[in-house]
Structure 1
Amino acid sequence: MTYYEKCIEIVIKQLDKFKPEKDNPEQFLETVFTSLQQTLNPQKLGFVLEVLSGCLQYHKLLTIVVDAFYARDGQLCLWSDYSLFEVICYLATFQIDELGFQLFCSIIKSQPVGKICKFLRFFFNPLNLCSWIRDEWSLIYETAHVTENWIDPLMRWQPEVQELIKQLEGVPTDQITPLKTKAKVTVPKEFNLTVPRPRAITMPEPVPTMPKPRPVPQSTYQEPKEQKLLQMIKTYNRRTAEELLLKANMEELRCAMPRLQRDPQVQDEKKQLWHQSVPRIHRTPNLTFYKPNNLPVKLNTATILREGALYQRQVEKELQRVDKLVDGAGDFSEFLEWQKKMQAKDLEEQLAAGECRRLQGKLSHEEAILARQNLMQENKQKADRQKEEEVIEESRELLQRSTKEAKEEQKRRCELIAQLRALETQPTRKGKLVDLTQIPGYGLEGEMSVVELRERLAMLKETQKREQEEKRDQIIQGKRAKSQMIQNTVEQISLCRAAMGRTAALRWEEKKAQATSLGTPCQDERVLELKRKMEERAAERRRQTRRQTAPQLVSPARALRPNLRAQEEMQHWLELDQSRERRLRAMQEAGRTCHATHHLEAS
């Protein structure tokens, strides 16, 4: 345990020194490597650097968990243990499968038991892992990656970790270290004194008996008779007042509508409406004098009168409407039908106008593309002409330079021939030639002949040349791998855009089918004319694009530009379609609201 305890202490110490806002992680790791290289063996150094680099790489994920632990369950923990909790969180999330559970248990047991148990209980809680931890980590990485690589393995290790926590919680009581034995001290002895005689036991005093209390009278638990009598009188008076009020309302209604009283059918309808509006009073055959559990809502006289007047106004209003219909008054159905037709016509006109605006936008877009293609064609022609002029000028300059170099070479050769002829005319020296294979013998260290020196220099040049070629090959391979990666990325982007385009097209077709149920604006003459113009412009643009396209090699950066332009165009049309959908949805909601209002008015 001391081995891992020392390694974890080194990692915690280095994490405390790291400042995210100032230090660079790579430079910080290099500094730690140089400082610990002399003091630790390779195994310890590798473990420390691996854990430290992982904590720095996933610093955001670890801080989310540790900050939440301090806010919820770790209010009593010290902030100096922040780096310890980060290391434990990293080992549990990213290294438990690689280290193995036994090695992970050894690392955990080498740390303070109370703090580690509290943190592991918080971190391996399934409610925390499957709720806010996964949501917070999904804001930084993709949800599928988080769930598959981190959350699911933690949930698989959750039973073993809970068992480990139970074992660790029982360690302090079972493994209490024995106290050190103290040295013997002098034990004092008692004095041998005379034992006193025991005192005589006194007789206990008799316990006084209390008189028996009187029982509580039964009237304490019974309701007084006066209160019962008052309740009966109150109930009787209330029912009498309700009956009188009912009779008065009936008389008033009978006096106000004498003509309707003659008609028995209207009288029956009035009675039915009245019985439906006025609440019935149910009389109980036997009075029960006890308090029920669910007390009814008590209505005072003003509330009853107000409610009766409301029902009476409703009945009078309905009877007046029936009288008007009997006298030959018109109905609102024809007006509502006309209003509905006019609203449908207005909606069709609005949809047609919106479709016209959309097609005009697309037409202007096609015209802009045509203009841009024409401009690009003109610029290309100008560039070709300029390139031809540049090539002519360059060929002329090269020709002049080659003639000049030929003249200089001829002049140099003439001078060299003159020098050689002058040397031939000079007398030769007769004597021993210099032996380049012989060592001078000056007694210097590493002394060698001229031939050996030349051979070593030639070998050194060959080695340098070979290294340069290897570096060149590595650079070329790296460039090829990078270009291949960029090409794969471009293909992936094109596939994603094609999928998004198909999805958007399907959504647009569905929304277009829904819009055609209300009224198809495509039958409008303006819409058909704009569609025809737009198709002509699109065909012309495609023809120009086919004429301008030629097989040529382009760089990955230039290959990405059309895709970016196509993405911007796709985004532009998606925004136009979304705005048109929002406008259509608002118009539909307004139409439904208007229909519902007229329906309520008619009813």
Structure 2
Amino acid sequence: MAYYGKCIETVIEQLNKFKPEKDIPEQFLEAASTSLQTLSPQKQAFILEVLSGCLEYRKLLAVVVDAFYVRAGWLCRRADYNLFEVICYLATFQLDELGFQLFSDIIRSQPLDKMCKFLGFLFNPLSLCSWIKDEWSLIYETAHVSENWIDPLMRWQPEVQELIKQLEKVITNRSPLPKTKAKVTEPKEFNLTVPRPRAIPVPEPVPVMNKPKPIPRSTYHPPKEQEQLEMTRRYNRWKAEELLLKVNIEEMRCAVPRSRGTPLVQGSEKKLQLRFMPRILKTPKLTFYKPNNVPVKLNTAAILREGSLYQRQVEKELQRVDKLVDGAGDFSEFLEWQKKMQAKDQEEALAAGECRRLQGKLSREEAILARQLLRQGNKQKADQKKEEMAELMQQCAERRLQEERSMKELVEQVIEVQKNVKMAQMKLLKGRRHIVQEVIEETRELLQRSTEAAKEEQKRRCELIAQHRALETQPMRKGKLVDLTQIPGYGLEGEMSVVELRERLALLKETQQREEEEKRDQIIQAKRARSQGLQNMVEQISLCRAAMGRSAALRWEQKKAQSAAPGPPSQDERVLELRRRIEESAAERRKQAASVPISAPRAPRPKPRAQLESRHWVELQQSRERRLRALQRSCVDT
């Protein structure tokens, strides 16, 4: 028994190593035979025979073992899958050769409870004649299955049933393991020894570290490119501040109040310079360098667009000259009228700016007056809110009492509902049992239909297999001689042989290559001509830009001279009306503040006069800058 038990264990180990996705059965058997060379020839032959049979009939054995785990082997481990496969193979294919006595010895060498359960499932007559036979018939022919496998298993039914009974008796008569009494612990005295004095440990050698590399200088010094960028940035900032200072001085010339016809006082200009100088001259005095003038690289679209623009301008100028030659009128009168209108628009713009400043001042006075009125209204509203909050608190207390009463009533209702829950559960269980019985009956009918359909499908497959085998037995011509120089002779127009077709394709490829080379040469010539035209256009654009820049500079000087000239004070009606309204609102605010003084909890901190003045000058500077940008755009457009 131990002999056969070891053989079966070896077969199970080899089956555990087999992986059907990766391994090939023939190569796996050769590797297994080489690993079993140390065993005796009898053992080696038995193990290889059982292993090859299990691999060959793996599908048949899997049908029985999978069904066993589903129907009867719920408590069996999945690790015993290959053990059940080996027992199923020996019972189905090797029982006649081994003999019943040897088969029973092999069964007794394994765990008895598992073998008893599996043999009872496998040798069940109902299972053998019904679903096992049908499942095996789907893989092999029905006649072969019934003659070679089902009938021998049915013949061995009496002996196997007797063996199952013997195994059950052995299992029931097996004496339980004797219970051992727990040993009582006996206390013993401690055998303490005097500890030895600790030895002084030998000091470990100090590890010698390699000399580190010195830190590179670039770690603490910024790169030269960054210094150059910072120098250019500071130089540009200095230039911008210088230009802003000039613009501010020009603005302050116009902003200082003076009588009509009197020149601007030089002292006021110096005061404005001193006021703005500390803000600008905060940067340290350093040496700066001018950045290199890098030319802007234009793409083809930009060059063509700018060239067409200048070409249109030149054409317009030529047309204007032709019209003048033919006797057309001059635009001098129109230009004078345009200058007058522009001066008038400028005066209106200045008046509008003064109106906006006065409107801001007026809105400030009105806001202060409205804030005073708002404080009075807020005080009245606060008193009303306090009265309303007292009423709301009283209503809230009443609402809480009502909610407590409603919660008590709700608790009583919930207790009554819980009493009726048990009756509803009993009714629900009865309905579910009825539904389960109906479902079981429906599943039985579906199983019967599926078995009938499987039988019909098996018959159809057997007929198809017979037809395929009959077709395979017919002789077939394997090869055919082909002459590439022969014309097929199908009667088509332009019919030719394969050799002639290949020659014509080669000629066609040569002509296509020649055409591609010609097109490539044409494209290269066109690109060169285009690049030469673009270069000429770039030179023409540079000349036009220089001319336009000179003309724009002249116009800018003229506009600057006109803007620097002092103008008469504004006598607009809107300005006078706004000043009058500002005085009235200020008087009303003072009167309101004197009549109803409001005690604020904490007055806002007044802003210093210098800060207000600086904000005023900053707003004035921003308005002047916006005005200058608008004038520049108008100059460029003209």
TM-score (norm 1): 0.31
The structure with the largest alpha-carbon Rg is 2
TM-score (norm 2): 0.29
